[in-house]
Amino acid sequence: MSIFKGKNILLGVTGSIAAYKACEIVRLLTKAGARVQVIMTHSGTKMVGPATFAALTGRDVLTELFPKEPKAGLEHIHLAETLDVIIVAPATANIIAKTAHGIADDLLSTTLLACDVPKLFAPAMNFRMWRNEATQSNLAIIRQRGATIVDPEHGQLASLAVGEGRMAEPKTIVNALRKLLGGEQDYEGQRVLITAGPTREPIDPVRFLSNRSSGKMGYALAAAALERGARVTLISGPTALEPPAGCDFIAVETAEEMEKQVRAKAPDQELIIMAAAVADFRIARPETRKIKRGGSTPVLKLEPNPDILKGLRPLTDAYLVGFALEVEKGRENALKKLREKQLDAIFLNYADRADSGFDKETNEGILFFKDSEEEVPFTLQSKKEIAHGILTAIREDLKRET
């Protein structure tokens, strides 16, 4: 389950050109199951219309401290009681200054003062304003009071000047928020590559060979790694799933495409987990036109696909984890794959057990390591729990190594 699921998040949007990026933040959070309420300052509404945020959140956007048609009780007081966190993105020098000095002269600044919940600010401003001593000391004040600041990036600003002040990317902000809401950050900053889902091998332009992988196991691993602070790249074959908010997502179709992407990313990674069900064979010569009925029945000739995982060891120092999907002689086959593919660990799971393996919400299995007799059994549990368990066991194995 996503850490954002069921969370009440208030997003404050202030008057910076980066306000358009806040739309993507809303999209990522609502897709992940959060309830997002937007408050805009008057200058924020000059950048992006409230109707956009209303459509994205399915809720009225609040802009007025004293609305024309007041409701019983002040809205910000109600908000204060239900919120889990407040993000201000983009946060101008003005809202940062007001927050630092307890000024409450509009709905957003009043809500920030009234709500005792974790707060995250993603500043966006001209580079001179950012560097200004007043802004830096205001930031120091709110940081010291516990606020999280997602520093702006260096780059071209709205004024076309180049400097620091451009709001961080929505993905970076969502990941900082995940960290704020989440638990232990034992993978903080680590580069983790995960593959998921099936591959599709074309027969002709409308048909393909594939398998029953839903991607659930790989996506659960990506979500768990993100929750623990990792920088996650998820390379996935076609699935019906929404990629976890905050990962770098690369969609592929065939094993060949997956291999190309994995090999390009592998050298930079610290951990690679191949949970994808890569098709072992492809059609030797896919037809360029749809095969029609009527003639002779076609015979499909197969050829082997590359073994992506087996080719990775010379390319990377990353800790390499494979998945072995087995029917019989599971332990023997998994250990053989561990050796032959030069892996650090392999997770054995089963293709013939109820409620585990392909397309199920739950899974079970055993994690084996290269240099340790120790093996970690996993009883039937959700794929997310399995994912967290695998990440914890990898951590333990790395501690044994050092």
Minimum distance from residue 373 beta carbon to ligand PMT (Å):
22
Place of tokens 């109707």: 51
* Given the residues 94, 126, 175, 211, the one annotated as active site: 211
User: Applying CB under 6 A, does 368 fall inside the site for ligand PMT?
Assistant: no
Query: Should residue 358 be labelled a site residue for ligand PMT when binding is judged by CB under 6 A?
Result: yes
Residue 323 engages ligand PMT in binding (rule: CB under 6 A): yes
User: Is residue 337 involved in binding ligand PMT (CB under 6 A)?
Assistant: yes
Structure tokens at 192: 């983790």
Considering the rule CB under 6 A, would residue 276 count as an interface residue with ligand PMT? yes
Which lies closer to ligand PMT via its Cβ, residue 14 or residue 305? 305
Q: Is 363 a catalytic residue?
A: no
322 near ligand PMT (CB under 6 A)? yes
Residue 46 · residue 140 · CB < 8 Å: no
185, with CB counted inside 10 A (0-12, 13-18, 19+), is: middle
242 near ligand PMT (CB under 6 A): no
Binding-site size, ligand PMT (CB under 6 A): 26
What residues numbered 156-175 form the site for ligand PMT, per CB under 6 A? Answer: none
Q: Which token pair is 11? A: 């997003």
User: Rounded to 5 degrees, what are φ and ψ at 202?
Assistant: -65, 140
User: What are residue 236's phi and psi, to 5 degrees?
Assistant: -130, 140
What's the Cα-to-Cα distance from 335 to each of 172, 194, 346, 396, rounded to whole Å? Answer: 38, 21, 8, 19
Tokens of residue 283, six digits: 């059609």
Give bridge partners of residue 87 from the DSSP assignment: 11, 120
Q: Is 345 in the site for ligand PMT (CB under 6 A)?
A: no
**From 142, 226, 274, 391, residue interacting with ligand PMT (rule: CB under 6 A):** 274
The nearest distance, CB 253 to ligand PMT, in angstroms, is 14
Q: Which residues are 365's β-sheet partners?
A: 378
- Taking alpha carbons only, the member of 93, 175, 173, 75 closest to residue 138 is 93
> Rounded to the nearest whole angstrom, what is the least distance from the CB of residue 263 to ligand PMT in the complex?
11
The answer to whether the beta carbons of residues 356 and 386 sit under 8 Å apart is no
Is 283 near ligand PMT (CB under 6 A)? no
Chain residues binding ligand PMT by CB under 6 A are 197, 213-217, 255, 274-278, 280, 305, 307-309, 322-325, 337, 349, 357-359
